[in-house]
Structure 1
Amino acid sequence: MKKVSILDVVEKSGVSLVTVSRVLNNSTTVRESNRQKVLQAMKDLGYTPSSAARSLARGSTGLIGITLQTLGDTVFDGIIHAVNESLEAKGYFLALSIASTAQLDNSAVNHFLFQEDRVDGIILLSTFAEKEYVLELKRKKIPFVIIDNHIEDTKAVTINVDNFIGGYEATRHLLDLGHSQILHISGPELYLSARDRRRGYEQAMTEAGFAPTVIGTDEFNIRCGFNSVKACLAQGIRPTAVFAGEDGLALGAMDAFRDEGYRIPQDISIVGYDDQYFAKEIHPRLTTIRQPMEKLGKEAVRILLDMIDGPSKRSKSVCLKPELIVRESTAECAAHK
């Protein structure tokens, strides 16, 4: 039995391929009478539009590319899952590219996703080669958005979390529990998100009349959190609470304090950031700032597809609010009781 194609719908409905294409893509420019003809023809023929048919209708590849640095991050995993789910619902496929931090600055020129007619659009996910990628994508007129950009005052369309508010609320939570000696373990300065979380912490501490204490790290990982706490204790710094700029750093900090005989949260309260999968599995369960991973992915797809469908329209950047998740790793300061 011959498979029904989009061209059969054109013949059956008596309208043009352009009109059928517009109906398939839910265009508002189609006359209602023509829309009904197409819908009726699809029903009579038992036609279900495939991704390939939608691509033909758009005159496009039906592919959206996404670039990222690593797959070893549950926040990124959550974002990619939401992006893929949203794209599938719109008849698109996702092409994934994992970049190396050691790539040369001119790698954007030869990037396999950045070639004309290879993809309909690009999502840059927390890329270190942001400046070079943006210049190349603009030069080739490929629509793109950035999730978690690192360049301040970028002219590109971005989808971010308000990391300043996240850092502020994490610190405010500890202050409300009576803590005043709060250490912040900050992520790498390369990340705008890390810089903003630190600013939020410093703002909350300054408003409360306490001096900020910050120790920087080279990476977001457990080992850096462990080493940071050991270094502080060796220097005689004795905080009653820690705001770690990422859950891995928080987990490392917890291990270091336990190693030194501290009880959590009786002797030391700890807040993380991200709400990664292990945050609710460890003991005690980690108080943290949750990133809206699903919203980040969905918003990126929505904005990018709007840019593809209406290139003349000006798209606005989006900044989403994080959420404080209070669990068992924080408690009222013993000195405050």
Structure 2
Amino acid sequence: MSSPSRKRFSLAEVASLADVSEATVSRVLNRKYGVSAATRQAVEQALRKIGYERPLDSSLVLVLAPSLKNPIFAQQAERIENELSPHGLKTVICPVYPGTPQERDYVEALIDSGVAAIIFLSSSNTLANADHRVTQLIQSRGIPFVCINGGFPDVESPVVSTDDWQAASLAVSHLYDFGHRRIGLLAGPVDNIPADRRVEGFVAAMDGLGLPDGPDFVVRRHFNFEGGQQAAATLLEMGATGLVASSDEMALGAYRAVSRAKLTVPGDVSIIGYDDSPLLDYTNPPLTTVRQPTDRIAENVGRMVTTLIGGRPVSTDEMLIEPEIRLRGSTGAAPR
């Protein structure tokens, strides 16, 4: 630990380099209100110039995530925690409904408890038109943040996402190879960034394979069981024999729709999910799905978070991680 005199000297040195007062340097170091973005940036640059790195021990990292009832979010949060724990960082998982005041409430309640960084895990960062005042609060305190599966419009921050365009293309190509030509997409809501990207990838893949009706075979619903069942019922009425779901929950809802239509999976209808949630091997039949690379996402997010906390810059270009398809028993040859 530095001696008191060394601390005073460091503050004076940084203040001189940044052309600010020592009190301002102290406010930046302690992430307090009342410092403009330009002044905060000047102090951070001076800190880097003298080789100062923020300590990582005894610090909290908030992970803002949707309902942990969805196993994929719980799995992703756990893997992020595993990446940060060796650095002395403690994660606090905050389950929120994206785009609601809950996010701001969590941040406001915990921001003075030594928050070192914040991770938006498929939270309001996935909504194109969400109220993004929470990011203004975070930025005003100089707290770094990282986004997973989409970034905030007009706000620069590191983003790590699954390549949703590629995910849709993988699913369509797999069904096409099995002879399916009437392929439908069970898509998430409009203005949800991952959902919109999967729609774009789906339509592009269909066009590339000479199947021009792609946009007509997109049905938008919520990312849950009921949404999947409703979307699948609509697509079955349109004669679809292959269904690409935008989540594993939607795929399981599609199972129900197929059953109620007196059809079978995969004899009459093939279904592909998205996420690769645990226990999919135990569905009947086991669900083929496009797997989100949660391990690789967690590794990159962990590296970004520790770098930012250390006061070093990180690229704000979005990093896309390629998904992969996991073949199980829910896909097969198109019916004659």
Does the CA-based 8 Å contact 2:228-2:253 persist in structure 1? yes
Residue 67 (1) aligns with residue 64 (2)? yes
Give the residue type in structure 1 aligned to 2:229: F
Task: String of CA shifts for 1:223-256, please: whole Å, max 9, x gaps.
Answer: 11112233344xx411111111111111111111
Q: CA deviation at 1:76?
A: 0.9
Q: Which amino acid aligns with 2:301?
A: A
- Aligned-pair distance for 1:317? 3.6
What is the aligned partner in structure 2 of residue 193 from structure 1?
194
C-alpha separation in 2, matches of 1:229 and 1:94? 38
The counterpart of 1:123, out of the listed 111, 119, 131, is 119
Offset, 1:90: 1.3
Matches within 5 A, 1:246-257: 246-257=247-258
- What is the CA–CA distance in structure 2 between the aligned matches of 1:112 and 1:278, rounded to whole Å? 35
**Retained in 2: the 8 A contact 1:61–1:119?**
no
2:96 to 94, 99, 102: 99
Separation in structure 1 between the aligned mates of residue 103 and residue 264 of structure 2, nearest angstrom: 50
1:83 and 2:84 matched: no
- The question of whether the paired residues in 2 share the 8 Å contact of 1:152 and 1:192 is answered with no
Match of 2:13 in 1: none
The aligned runs of 1:119-268 (5 Å cut-off) are 119-128=115-124, 131-149=132-150, 151=152, 155-210=156-211, 211-212=213-214, 213-233=216-236, 236-268=237-269
Q: Give the aligned partner of residue 277 of structure 2.
A: 276
> Which whole-Å CA distance do the structure 2 matches of 1:204 and 1:307 have between them?
37
Distance 1:122 1:199, change over 3 A: same
Using the TM superposition, give the Cα deviation of residue 102 of structure 1 relative to its aligned residue in structure 2, in angstroms: 6.9
Structure 2 unaligned segments of length 5 or more: list them. Answer: 8-53, 125-129
Give, in angstroms, the shift of residue 168 of structure 1: 0.9
Instruction: Indicate conservation of the 8 Å contact 1:162/1:322, yes or no.
Output: yes
Question: Counterpart of 1:113?
Answer: 110
Deviation of 1:179 (Å)? 0.8
Q: Which residue of 2 aligns with 1:323?
A: 324
Task: Report the 3-state secondary structure (helix = DSSP H, G, I; strand = E; otherwise coil) of the residue aligned with 2:132.
Answer: helix
With over 3 angstroms needed to count, the CA separation of the structure-2 counterparts of 1:248 and 1:156, relative to structure 1, is: same
- Evaluate the alpha carbon distance shift between residue 167 and residue 312 of structure 1 in structure 2; reply closer, same or farther with a 3 A threshold: closer
Distance 2:114 2:235 in 1: 51
1:108–1:132 contact (8 Å) kept in structure 2: no
Shift of 1:88: 1.4
| Mapped partners of 1:109, 1:329: distance in 2 | 40
Moved over 6 A (4+): none
Opposite residue 125 of structure 1, the aligned amino acid is: L
Measure the CA separation in 1 of the matches of 2:83 and 2:142: 23
SS in 1 for 2:275: coil
Tell me the secondary structure at the aligned position of residue 273 of structure 1.
Answer: strand
Structure 2 vs 1, CA of residues 166 and 154 (structure 1 numbering), >3 Å: closer, same or farther? farther
Q: Cα–Cα, structure 1 residues 94 and 106, in superposed 2: closer, same or farther, change >3 Å?
A: closer
Provide the secondary structure at the position in 2 that maps to 1:295: helix
Shift of 1:316: 4.9
Shift of 1:59: 7.7
2:243–2:272 Cα contact (<8 Å) kept: yes
Contact 1:130/1:149 (<8 A) preserved = no
Q: Is the 2:228–2:254 contact (alpha carbons within 8 Å) kept by the matching residues of 1?
A: yes
1:219 to 1:267, Cα distance in 2 relative to 1, 3 A: same
Q: Percent identity?
A: 25
| TM-score, scaled to structure 1 | 0.75
Higher Cα Rg, which structure = 1
Structure 1 residue 123: Cα displacement: 0.9
Query: What is the letter of the counterpart of residue 246 of structure 1?
Result: S
1:170 offset after TM fit, Å? 0.5
Are the structure 2 counterparts of residues 164 and 245 from structure 1 closer, same or farther at C-alpha, using a change threshold of 3 Å? Answer: same
Q: Which amino acid aligns with 1:268?
A: V
- Bigger shift: residues 321-330 or 220-229: 220-229
The answer as to 2:305 corresponding to 1:309 is no
What is the letter of the counterpart of residue 113 of structure 1? L
> Are residues 111 and 69 of structure 1, via their aligned partners in 2, closer, same or farther at CA, if it must alter by over 3 Å?
farther
- Provide the C-alpha distance between the structure 2 equivalents of 1:72 and 1:305, rounded to a whole number of angstroms: 28
- Looking at structure 2, the residues matched to 238 and 270 of structure 1 have their Cα atoms a distance apart, in angstroms, of 14
Deviation at 1:318, TM superposition (A): 2.0
Q: Deviations over 1:202-229 (max 9, x none)?
A: 1111111111133434411111111223
Q: How far apart in 2 are the matches of 1:141 and 1:60?
A: 18
Aligned-partner Cα distance in 2 for 1:307–1:315? 12
